[in-house]
Structure 1
Amino acid sequence: MRISQLFKIALYSVWSNKIRSFLTMLGIIIGISSVIILVGMGKGAEKEISDQISSLGTNLITVSLTKTATIDDGDLKELKSKPGIKAISPQVSSSNVNIKAGSKTSTTSIEASNESYAEVKSYTVSSGRFITSRDVKNRYNVLVIGTETANNIFGTTNVVGETMYVSGIQFKVVGVLKSAGTSTTGSSDDKIILPLSTAQRLLKSSSIKTYYIEAKSQAEVDTAMSYIKMFLNKKYGLNNLAISTTTDTYYRVLSQTSLLTTATSTTKSMSNMLSGVAAISLLVGGIGIMNIMLVSVIERTKEIGTRKAIGAKRRTILTQFLIEAAIVSGLGGLLGVLIGYLGAYVGKTFFATSIVISGNIVVAAFAFSVVVGLVFGIYPADKASKLNPIDALRYE
């Protein structure tokens, strides 16, 4: 019997039991759509984090102090004179700070630094100006505001010259940041930026544990990091300690490249974990196909016996049932792909979720669904092909 005839018989069998066939496909549909959406979310998170880190520039170095050290302006001036270092911005930050303008109140986060902060962190203002050295030196109560924060308490971004209260203290808005959008880590526009000295007085803390350092170029990042580490080792007295002492106990120095590598590795692990969870649905769907195909063999025992009695070979019966299993899993895979794309569209449009669908993942998921159908269809097909025609014709 020709393959085309076997396809027609298999399609007729699937179509004549539409509800059962659809329920059999359901596991495959859920598995495929889950793989596409979850892996897409992982890829989207990876892209967002990568773009966000890259947007800060490839020559940015982040220094995080695990143990507090006394680093004054003289130390920073000395460090800035080292080869490869262009600018240094100490940073103090705080989250969930109460702010008020008129009758409207809200909470936001504070970032505080010096006049180099805009250059180091690649911040730009859409109106007004940024923090200046004069603001820092004189502890002026001025701030630069994010667009989302401005809309929350003023209802507009045209707020340069307006006054607002931060933790009950009056400040003047001197600039509005250019919108940076929203990422997986939250909104980049919900913040205020204060002069470092003003924030230290406001927060009643002079401790600085984060420094952002801009290297003169990407090629000089490693040179700058070497001098930063030598400076910190001297500051903490680590040069005299045992070689086994880990500097992570005292400080960490990370470049954008290392941050990007770490973030990418983390998101890839998350994507693999999500795809593994989704793949379980495909296996469950495959078990469902095997179960229904076994039921189909029992229901069609007489049909199989009749066909074998008139000359149908074992190979023909085996092929027919394998084709049926492949059709069920293949149709389920196609529906799963469609639902996966639909789910991604809904997530991006209505929930502002970044989902990046990879064509390779879609093809691989669909191929896997067909393979699952064939693998779990082998046993029922083999059982059908081995039926004795006489016993099959006697079956009631």
Structure 2
Amino acid sequence: MHVLVVHNRYASAQPSGENKVVDQEVALLREAGHRVGVFERRSDDIAARSLPAKAALPLLVPWNPGVRRELADRLRAERPDVVHVHNVFPLLSPSVLAACADAGVPAVATLHNYTQVCPPGTLQRDGRPCTECVGARTPLPAVRHGCYRGSRLATVPLAVSLSANRRRWWSGVERFLCISAAQRDVLVRAGMPAGRLAVKHNFVPDPGALRTGPGEHLLYLGRLAEAKGVRLLMAAWDEIAAGGGAGVPLVIAGTGPLEPEVAAWAAGRDDVRYVGLYDTAQCRQAVARSVAVVAPSTWLEAFGLVVVEAMAAGVPVVAAGHGAFVELVEDGVTGLLHRPGEVASLASCLRRITADPVLGGEMGRAARRRYERDFSPAVGLERLVEEYRTAIAGRSALARGGDTRAGRGDGDNR
């Protein structure tokens, strides 16, 4: 199969699970013998642009005609079987879908977040869940609240793009790949075409080493941001410390807007180590030495790559009991779920997992079995190729004048 992957890479200064997923899928397909090309832009390149070019960038967020022409030309020249779209913000834009239509190539899109119904894609405002724009005809609430980076001005291009391109997304993509059933449920309630929304979990490469022993530390691995529950974790750890501690240190690895706050909080403490940004090898080593990996997100995670990476290493997870975490973590079997946003509940789960090494060992083994069954590369490849074939068949039926999409429960394509 010949696949062209379309992706706007996130800035390299901060870890991106989405970049990782794209790279791993490309490598997986190539290893299986498929021909895979990449059409990409890099957010890192924005810094090198001239001031006029930077000033004009928001105008290209809803529609980039240059990208449409360039991609359409490449599609006509290479004739791939299918185009797989990932992130298009800010340098690509939904014009990539018009290029696919121009060249008559079916498009599949992985939905890594909630940008189809929420301009910043987080379903969160001021540290709390928010669905004010979900199902609304226009995302004006997001502009009014300045939901993207706390700025009304910065939110406008995203809101305009969502409004102007809603119909193009919903009619121009043969298969939407949701990364969890929880995410799909939200999008279906928002009116997206249910018949083209499939659940395809992200896969994780086998790390090659499983945890041995009970583990040496608790680990938070990810972006240091409010939505990831970092402040909640710090408050829970302070509560545990006030009660005598957990017996193992908390290791925090990552970078992000809360980095100064986290570094100051950890400074001078024996029970906390802030280690900055780990590379891939360091991440795998840190996970494999963990009593548990902590994922206390306050927003509704669409997936949770770090959760599955822990499972792959035979390590249980302590996660917030909402969003995709509910379907990834079986409470009491492969990990523990705490009540979202509650300090005392998170502290209680952390105490429990560190106090009972036998329970931790049983959970870790169960987590590894779940990984092998649902999140391994073999499973990921099978599901990915299956969705490509479905998209190709759907476009072929349309070309023959037999569009079956309405019959697949698409609903209202507003």
TM-score range, shorter chain: under 0.3
Which structure is richer in relative contact order (CA contacts within 8 A, separation 6 or more)?
1
TM-score (normalised: structure 2): 0.19
Q: Which has the larger radius of gyration?
A: 1
TM-score (normalised: structure 1): 0.20
Q: Which has the higher helix share?
A: 1
